[in-house]
Chains A and B, each alone.
Chain A
Amino acid sequence: MLLALAEPTTTYYLILAALVFAIGSVGLMVRRNPLVMFMCIELMLNAVNLTFVALATRFGNIDGQTAVFFVMVVAAAEVVVGLGIIISVLRRRPGATADDLAELKG
């Protein structure tokens, strides 16, 4: 069986990561709920993480996996701060979308 013999190469992973990154960026441009926009940013970060790990395995260099570790820490910090901002904005204006925040008056 051909499917069982072939092995996925690094290029397959890079193509998958490119697709996920593009889907995340389209979502970021299209959706207007700020929380869903945040989820799309997480998608893009994960696509980049997959690229890092695939290339770390290909090059035989552990540095890529260390970079992914730091990306995860920064993503966690970013989500905490971003959700804090979203909570304090939505407390004043319930049901605000990203378009309503353009004035930045609070």
Chain B
Amino acid sequence: MELIVFVIASAMVLAGALGVVLRSNPVHAALSLVLTLFGIAVHFVALGAHFLAAVQVIVYAGAIVVLFLFVLMLLGIDKSEDLSIEPFPIQRPLAIVIGAGLAGLVIAAAVRARDALPEGTPLESGGDSNIKQLAQNLFSDYVFAFEFTSVLLIVAVAGTVMLTRKEKKGGES
């Protein structure tokens, strides 16, 4: 049963990932990204990370992709890009070779290390134990990092407002 879920969710993830790269229309690419993110959320549920699955759907699929679509519509660059134009003829074959090599190396390492991974005691699952464990870990061991993420978010918001505001004087835009 779990293998069936894994196969279906993996097909979603890979189809979405290929769609992001191969679709010429950026809106279609963003919707393919949603497919990938939902597939990864399914994997999170299968692995017992229920809180992260919810955050994945809400933050990634709900906020980040909507932000992408918002910018696409706002700037009006949602036209198809002609993918047959290649400015550097060597670029695509080289990129595919590098990507295949990267995937091959990492997969070889993962397969070689499959028996070396130590098996720990399984995490508690069922009910809200995943959220409780995560909260205890986050607010005890990583509480400073957690507080600094709020600083990071405020700096990011203030910086974006500074970057995108229109100048009042000193030339157009």
Using CB atoms and an 8 Å cutoff, list the residues of chain A in contact with chain B.
3-4, 6-16, 18-27, 29-33, 35-36, 38-40, 42-43, 46, 49-50, 53-63, 65-66, 68-70, 72-81, 83-88, 90-92, 94-95, 99
Select from chain A the residue with minimum beta-carbon distance to B118. A59
Chain B: minimal CB distance from A9 (Å): 7
Given A13-B43, A46-B36: A27 and B21 interface contact (C-beta under 8 Å): yes
Alpha-carbon separation in the docked complex, A62 to B79 (Å): 44
Q: Is the CB of B36 within 8 A of A84?
A: no
Using CB atoms and an 8 Å cutoff, list the residues of chain B in contact with chain A.
1-4, 6, 10, 13-14, 17-18, 20-21, 26, 29-30, 33, 36-37, 40, 43-44, 46-49, 51-52, 55-56, 59-60, 63-64, 67-68, 71-72, 74-77, 81, 87, 91-92, 94-96, 98-100, 102-103, 106-107, 110-111, 114, 117-123, 130, 133-134, 137-138, 141-142, 145, 149, 152-153, 155-157, 159-160, 163-164, 173
Select from chain A the residue with minimum beta-carbon distance to B125. A57
Q: Which residues of A contact B159 (CB under 8 A)?
A: 81, 84
Q: Is the CB of A54 within 8 A of B149?
A: no
Given A22-B102, A35-B26: A6 and B160 interface contact (C-beta under 8 Å): no
Given A12-B6, A26-B98: A36 and B26 interface contact (C-beta under 8 Å): yes
Name 18 A/B residue pairs within 8 A (Cβ), A-sorted. A14-B110, A22-B103, A23-B20, A25-B99, A33-B77, A36-B81, A42-B60, A57-B47, A60-B119, A61-B120, A63-B137, A75-B60, A80-B157, A81-B159, A81-B160, A83-B68, A85-B163, A94-B76
Q: Which residues of B contact A55 (CB under 8 A)?
A: 117
Q: Is the CB of B119 within 8 A of A53?
A: no
Alpha-carbon separation in the docked complex, A77 to B67 (Å): 12
Alpha-carbon separation in the docked complex, A24 to B117 (Å): 26
Given A23-B21, A53-B44: A59 and B120 interface contact (C-beta under 8 Å): yes
Q: Is the CB of B164 within 8 A of A87?
A: yes
Q: Which of B37, B49, B119 contacts A46 (CB 8 A)?
A: B37
Q: Is the CB of B3 within 8 A of A4?
A: yes
Select from chain B the residue with minimum beta-carbon distance to A11. B114
Given A8-B6, A33-B81, A88-B164: A58 and B107 interface contact (C-beta under 8 Å): no
Alpha-carbon separation in the docked complex, A26 to B1 (Å): 33
Chain A: minimal CB distance from B79 (Å): 9
Select from chain A the residue with minimum beta-carbon distance to B136. A62
Q: Which residues of B contact A53 (CB under 8 A)?
A: 43-44, 47, 49, 52
